[in-house]
Structure 1
Amino acid sequence: MKRSKFAIPALLVLIMIVLSACGGNNAPENNAPADNAGSGTNNTGSEGGNTGANAPQEDVTIRLGLVGGGMTPIITQIGISDGSFEKAGIHIEEKDFTAGADMVQALVGGSLDITLGSYEHILRQQKNGLDVKAYGEIFNGVGYTLIVKKDSKYQSLEDLKGTTLAVTKVGSLSDTGLREGLKQANIDADKDVQIINGGSGATMLAAIQSGKVAGGMVSEPTISQMLATGEYRVLYDPPFEYAGIIITAKTDWVEKNTETMKRFLAVNNEINERVQKDPSIAVAAMLKTFDQIPEDVMQSAVKNQLAKVPAGLKVSEAGAEIVQQTQLDQGILTEKIPFEQAVDMSLLPTTTP
């Protein structure tokens, strides 16, 4: 009898130990390393792994390059400003550049992980044999507008023959966008006009105001700010699709950091879906970055920018083709680079994370 008396408690203890052990065996699955380098699979399906919103995620750091002074990378800028990336366990080390070419060199050199710049930089690096690809797009447009003084005699691009025009930097996105417009107006950018470096912000404004240039390529929020004064007007706003701000990385980095790239893309996509429904969120976030801009001016700038952010962050094949044609026209490329060779959209989320 004494043996039976103690056997039952002992059995209960044994059962509890076994159950506890079984429960612990589930933990490694839920906390398994999220990074399946090179897998190329989406996390949003039922078999995509435990990388959803409720799953534990290791904090990561991304060294991010972007061209400062404008709002074309608005979706990512919002995420940095409102803490969306930090909430997703992504620490952004932002590095601003004055020109896309310098930024891409930093990417190739290994001091950046991801850059936000024009598709042309991907094409140029692929031409040089470097495996740099597009993984998403956050702005399908040039992002620069040709601004002139309101009382200027120039009414169209065709009127600009013999004038001097300013871009942020010769060879940059603003330069490429202007040249494409001039080409469509049957103006030879190398013979019929002079294109000079005008910088951005105050330096560009001074060049236009002083009459040093007939017009200058300006980005938001400076566009809306200048127009609000009543002293300036838009002479030319590129109307065509253009793969202007592309999420770019080296393929070997992505292979080692697949889940980090997926998470970065997913956060950007979630931000886009959210602010498209409620632009006031974007206005509030951008006013933190551009704190000297009046709210009504920022509302205009945000509206203009959000209109060109593609749904799902999908790279526009039409926009990419136009960029490629500009590079062929300028002799930078001698043959076409297939879209499939330069773009990988397999890591984009299929649903909101």
Structure 2
Amino acid sequence: MKRINIGGVPEHFNLAWYLTLKNGEYKEQGINLRWKDYFGGTGAMNKALREGEIDIAVILTEGVIKDIIDGNPTKIIQTFVQSPLIWGIHVANDSKYQTISDLKGTKAAISRYGSGSHLMAYINAENNQWDLDKDLDFEVIRNLDGAVEGLTNGVADYFMWEKFTTKPIVDDGVFRRIGNCPTPWPCFVIAVREDFLDQNLEDVKIILDIINGTTQEFKHIPSIDKTIANRYDQKLEDVQEWLSLTEWSQSVIDKATVDTIQDKLFNLDIIPKKVDYNSLVRKID
């Protein structure tokens, strides 16, 4: 049985992977798919792809595009979640900061440079007409636990992370959310190391067929809202709101969307150049 390593964030977006693994659907096709949670998010997964620790990643769109341009030998093969990611902008509960404008010139906690939390700090700054050179400062905190410690201890002032994942921390009175910043594009894609894709194309197609079959029907799984609430320690009403806002995809990301993302990243000086669509995406149908 062929072993294939895949990584993603341990969040509700990826429950479909857990369900198909639990049901043994990949093993029925001769594939030993091994999932690894990446609490450090996109930056940690990009590193794992580069080092061959994983073969496939379910990863933030803008983060993997930046890293491919920076030399990561990986290709996007499909959009996984079509809807935007809603990033909550959080401060410590006892912080003096009350509005997004109060955060101008303060220090953002980020999981690592090149991560989603890093890139979205730039998007938020641009949305609020800040000076990107003078009004942004960063403190690397690695993951969500690091953010809790960093904001509580005052080594950073605010932290951007997916708002439903952080909602329990807000409800517990550790963080206070003072705003939201949605991504202007589909949030998650499936990316595969190029050398692995070249040698295992049929296996990758089988994996896509299985996961796409589940995401197409995901919202209709009986009591899926209760399952998510229990597994991810979420309030049922929050899960129901999240389900109403989230749409999965079974299609490859299109050129217009890739161009939009590259234009934004280039204008923010996050990437040094724009590249051809086929340098980033491989259609495998």
TM-score, normalised relative to structure 2: 0.80
* Equivalent position of 1:132 in the other structure: 74
* Equivalent position of 2:87 in the other structure: 144
* Equivalent position of 2:210 in the other structure: 267
* Equivalent position of 1:103 in the other structure: 45
1:1-353 equivalences under 5 Å are 59-66=1-8, 68-81=9-22, 83-97=24-38, 98-119=40-61, 120-126=63-69, 128=71, 131-140=73-82, 141-142=84-85, 144-149=87-92, 154-219=97-162, 222-229=165-172, 232-278=175-221, 280-281=223-224, 283-284=226-227, 287-288=230-231, 290=232, 293=233, 296=235, 300-301=238-239, 303-304=241-242, 307-315=245-253, 317=255, 319-347=257-285
Structure 2: unaligned runs, 5 residues or longer: none
How far is the alpha carbon of 1:173 from its aligned partner?
A: 1.0
How far is the alpha carbon of 1:208 from its aligned partner?
A: 3.0
Moved more, 259-268 or 94-103: 94-103
How far is the alpha carbon of 1:318 from its aligned partner?
A: 5.5
The SS at the match of 1:323 is helix
What amino acid is aligned across from residue 224 of structure 2 in structure 1?
I
The SS at the match of 1:177 is helix
Q: Verify the 8 A CA contact 1:142 1:173 in the aligned structure 2.
A: no
How far is the alpha carbon of 1:63 from its aligned partner?
A: 1.1
The SS at the match of 2:192 is strand
Per-residue CA shift, 1:200-245, capped at 9, x if unaligned? Answer: 3333223334444332123365422123336644323223433432
Distance 2:89 2:246 in 1: 17
Q: Verify the 8 A CA contact 2:228 2:239 in the aligned structure 1.
A: no
The SS at the match of 1:237 is strand
Structure 1: unaligned runs, 5 residues or longer: 1-58, 348-353
Q: Verify the 8 A CA contact 1:73 1:245 in the aligned structure 2.
A: no
Distance 1:302 1:60 in 2: 37
Distance 1:233 1:280 in 2: 30
The SS at the match of 2:78 is strand
What amino acid is aligned across from residue 76 of structure 1 in structure 2?
W
Q: Verify the 8 A CA contact 2:68 2:74 in the aligned structure 1.
A: yes
Distance 1:259 1:206 in 2: 44
Per-residue CA shift, 1:4-41, capped at 9, x if unaligned? Answer: xxxxxxxxxxxxxxxxxxxxxxxxxxxxxxxxxxxxxx
What amino acid is aligned across from residue 110 of structure 1 in structure 2?
G
Structure 1 pair 211–250 and aligned structure 2 pair: CA distance change class (3 A): closer
Per-residue CA shift, 1:31-75, capped at 9, x if unaligned? Answer: xxxxxxxxxxxxxxxxxxxxxxxxxxxx54311133x45444443
What amino acid is aligned across from residue 79 of structure 1 in structure 2?
T
Distance 1:321 1:236 in 2: 27
Distance 1:118 1:100 in 2: 6
How far is the alpha carbon of 1:108 from its aligned partner?
A: 3.3
Per-residue CA shift, 1:109-131, capped at 9, x if unaligned? Answer: 43422122233334433453x65
Q: Verify the 8 A CA contact 1:142 1:174 in the aligned structure 2.
A: no
Aligned residues: 282
| RMSD over equivalenced CA pairs, Å | 3.3
Q: Verify the 8 A CA contact 1:72 1:143 in the aligned structure 2.
A: no
How far is the alpha carbon of 1:287 from its aligned partner?
A: 4.0
